[in-house]
Structure 1
Amino acid sequence: MSTQLAENEDPSLKEIWTQELLDSQPEQECDELVNLAAGICGTPLGLVTLLNDRLQWFRSTDWLKRRQTPRESAFCSYVIRQHGLFVVTDSFTDPRFATNPLVTDDPGLRFFAGVPLQTGSGQLLGTLAVMDTVPRLLTEEQGHTLEVLGRQVSARLELLLQRTALEQALKEKEESAAGLRASEELFRAFMNASPFMSYIKDSAGRLLFYNRSFAQRFGVSEYAWLGRTDEQLLQRNPTASDRLRNLEVMVGDQILESEEQIRGANGEIRSLRSFKFPCYDSAGNILLAGVAVDVSEEVAHMAELERYHRELEEANNRLRKLAVTDELTGLRNRRAFEERLVMEFSMARRRKRELAVLLLDVDDFKKVNDRWGHAAGDEVLRRLGRILQTTVRLPDLPARYGGEEFAVLLPESGQESALGLARRVMERVASERWDNAPLTISIGMAALNDSSMDGFQLVEMADEALYAAKRAGKNRVVAHNG
């Protein structure tokens, strides 16, 4: 028999068994039971109906064969609402069926008797019924026999359901096994094509899976090391920290990234970046999975890059030092002096502090170069630089300002302390044993006052005082009077 299911209806369990029952092979046995029921009850029509939520299907004698009807107009809907035999002796006189299409139209049913069909667990399957187009009465023996036949049909249908369910389960198992085999083959093909080393271990550290890259790295076959541990593979015992990290990954449900040094099959030590993470088998057992990539070239490149950065930083430090340092004397150069001058002047103004500047010049320096040469002149400048470095205070800044001229920036120093420092420098110069002839210097001093506009004005004032010292006969200190 063919099956017609309601459109857009989910394939529920009831529809599945309806499909199987209608399309099943033992149709002859069902037809024999239907004919037997009709013969015993003396009716021209006997049928088995199968019901779902909205429709009923027939397995019947020749009349009504391959036919379906809406459930709401089906006599069988009344049968399944009760236990035991349901009889309508004359539908014309029964108000429940007098206007039923099956009564008023073809086939014009007048008599109906049926029993419900159900499994041992109480699941309703349908009905076994006999019908006629004329009114009829059933004897007690006919009614009892119809109930017995109903139980036989129910048993046959339940056996068919069980066999169908078993066949379906076996089919699904075979399909699942085939799907698992295909998935495993696809998984292994994917992992073997990967350039990363991959593996899965159980909680005891035994290898359950590893890919081709892993096998090639350690010089083993693709299956020989399954079931073996790290100790056997690497020929060393894992450390306590190794075991602890693996346990933390498995129980902590976290990903651990690390870099490891591994000796390969050829004895070469390679750097690996490893990612370990937990996974679970089909039984729910926790496993340790790992993926590792060879980063030896990257590590070597990074080491080279770090070495280059260190060298570059050292070179930059030297350049920065050269940029603010006078190469001959080792003192700060004019650029560094002026940068510090701007900062100290601004700070002195904001905090109302003192500030002073000294400008020094070697007397008759040209005669030194002309008489004893430029090397002797350079030595004079170097020694004068050392005198300044060892005479000034820690916060003071001595600098070579240009040629044979030097400058000293004196934070938090007024006129008196600045003049005191100038005199000490002159005393040091006078007491120094010079190589060729005694040396003298002239010094000009300027201190911050209310009319000072900026630090460069202080330098100009000190320069004016220096020229005044030169004009007054040299070898002296002059303070700016402004």
Structure 2
Amino acid sequence: MNRQNADPEAARLAALHRCGIFQTPAEQDFDFLTRLAAEICQVPYAFVTFVDQDYVWAKAWHGVEKIAPAARCDDYCDFVIRSGQPLVVHDLCSDPRTASMPPTLDGFRRYAGVPLLTADQQAIGTLCVLDKRAGSPNDHQLELLQSLARQVMALVELRQHKRELEANVHLLERLATTDELTGLMNRRRLMERLSEECARARRFKEPMALVLLDLDHFKQVNDQWGHATGDIVLANTGRLIRETLRETDSAGRYGGEELCLLLPHTELDGAATVADTLCGRLATRSHRTAGAPEYVTASLGVAASSHLEQCHPATLLAQADAALYRAKDNGRNCVVVAQEALA
């Protein structure tokens, strides 16, 4: 049996969730259609509502300052949702279905609501009009109300498509700028970011630090245990770097097993502390890969420009690279700062 037919309410709620409209902020386009509905039907009150499992929530309203979510069982819109058809009640007080409902007891006498239907005909909400006088819309008014309901759904779908487009653009941007293995920036985005951070440091006369990290004996890992194991080590290293850095910091894959950390607003001592912390964590982070070395260490070179110096990408990279090679000469699994490398 088709699952949707077996549980129509679950299918309806899934359709509502896909639209991403429930409990979103007010928007002028929805407000305009609500006001237009009231004017067409010549009543003082109109609402665009969306209905989840338990509540009726108003996206837009006309004739009241604000409306709170109502229990679904206490709202006329529930009848429209259940039937998927328009509902017109000439006198709410004399209709046994609505006579004792809270809005009726508050003075409402007239209700006309039409369903908001998705492309697969799921009723996720209503466009409805109310009055404190008994009465009904004529056939022409009801037809226009249904047309306005289709416009409401067109707005919902447009909003949904825009959200999906933005998500796809964000995904493409991320794929274009992210290294697949490490989850860090790829080299092209890394160099762009380095230029941006250096320009910012020069403009505001702020310190800027850079750390180059090279995994020790990484070629041996690939040669002895295979490139798949090497990929796992790179992925674990990237994850550890993301866990270690501050929100203002960033990192990327500079090339091969060499990674680069950008630390804006950071003096040399602060960058050295970050590098020491990362070096220690790498040396004790198990890669848990059968047949492979449990731990892989790294050598790190640190460079920084103070707020009194001109910050340039090539200079920072050259200084950090010299420090990195000094760290390798010192036996690896250690940190060397640029001042020590030049000593």
Q: TM-score, normalized by length of structure 2?
A: 0.53
Contact 2:113 2:128 in 1 (8 A): no
Report SS of the residue matched to 2:266. Answer: coil
For the residues of structure 2 that align with 1:200 and 1:360, how far apart are their CA atoms?
72
309, 312, 316: which one pairs with 1:454? 312
Q: State the match for 1:360 in structure 2.
A: 213
Question: Is the alpha carbon distance of 1:405 and 1:200 closer, same or farther for their aligned partners in structure 2, counting shifts above 3 Å?
Answer: closer
For the residues of structure 2 that align with 1:390 and 1:232, how far apart are their CA atoms?
63
Q: Which runs of 5+ in 1 are unaligned?
A: 1-196, 202-216, 219-228, 247-258, 264-268, 277-287
Q: State the match for 1:151 in structure 2.
A: none
Matches within 5 A, 1:198-237: none
Matches within 5 A, 1:317-336: 317-336=170-189
Report SS of the residue matched to 1:360. Answer: strand
For the residues of structure 2 that align with 1:360 and 1:312, how far apart are their CA atoms?
37
Contact 2:112 2:137 in 1 (8 A): no
265, 272, 297: which one pairs with 1:440? 297
Deviations 1:40-88 (A, max 9, x none): xxxxxxxxxxxxxxxxxxxxxxxxxxxxxxxxxxxxxxxxxxxxxxxxx
For the residues of structure 1 that align with 2:286 and 2:219, how far apart are their CA atoms?
19
Shift of 1:424: 2.7
Matches within 5 A, 1:256-271: 261-262=113-114
315, 321, 327: which one pairs with 1:463? 321
Deviations 1:359-390 (A, max 9, x none): 01112212211211111001111222233233
How many residue pairs get aligned? The number is 236
Contact 1:442 1:475 in 2 (8 A): yes
Report SS of the residue matched to 1:407. Answer: strand
For the residues of structure 1 that align with 2:246 and 2:179, how far apart are their CA atoms?
20
Deviations 1:326-345 (A, max 9, x none): 33223344445444433433
Percent identical residues: 37
Q: State the match for 1:373 in structure 2.
A: 226
Question: Is the alpha carbon distance of 1:260 and 1:368 closer, same or farther for their aligned partners in structure 2, counting shifts above 3 Å?
Answer: farther
Matches within 5 A, 1:340-359: 340-359=193-212
For the residues of structure 2 that align with 1:200 and 1:365, how far apart are their CA atoms?
77
Contact 1:362 1:404 in 2 (8 A): yes
For the residues of structure 1 that align with 2:112 and 2:254, how far apart are their CA atoms?
57
Report SS of the residue matched to 1:297. Answer: helix
Report SS of the residue matched to 1:409. Answer: strand
What amino acid does structure 1 have at the position aligned with 2:168? A
Matches within 5 A, 1:14-53: none
Higher relative contact order (CA 8 A, sep 6+): 2
Pick which of 384-393 and 438-447 moved more: 384-393
Question: Is the alpha carbon distance of 1:318 and 1:233 closer, same or farther for their aligned partners in structure 2, counting shifts above 3 Å?
Answer: farther
2:162 aligned with 1:316, yes or no?
no
Matches within 5 A, 1:23-422: 239=104, 261-262=113-114, 291=141, 293=144, 294-295=146-147, 296-422=149-275
For the residues of structure 2 that align with 1:242 and 1:342, how far apart are their CA atoms?
66
Q: TM-score, normalized by length of structure 1?
A: 0.39
What amino acid does structure 2 have at the position aligned with 1:315? N
Report SS of the residue matched to 2:280. Answer: helix
What amino acid does structure 1 have at the position aligned with 2:184? L
Contact 2:199 2:311 in 1 (8 A): no
What amino acid does structure 2 have at the position aligned with 1:446? A
Q: Which runs of 5+ in 2 are unaligned?
A: 1-38, 44-84, 116-122
For the residues of structure 2 that align with 1:453 and 1:198, how far apart are their CA atoms?
65
Report SS of the residue matched to 1:370. Answer: helix
Contact 1:355 1:410 in 2 (8 A): yes
Deviations 1:13-66 (A, max 9, x none): xxxxxxxxxxxxxxxxxxxxxxxxxxxxxxxxxxxxxxxxxxxxxxxxxxxxxx
Report SS of the residue matched to 1:326. Answer: coil
What amino acid does structure 2 have at the position aligned with 1:424? T
Contact 1:452 1:458 in 2 (8 A): no
Deviations 1:224-243 (A, max 9, x none): xxxxx656999967957886
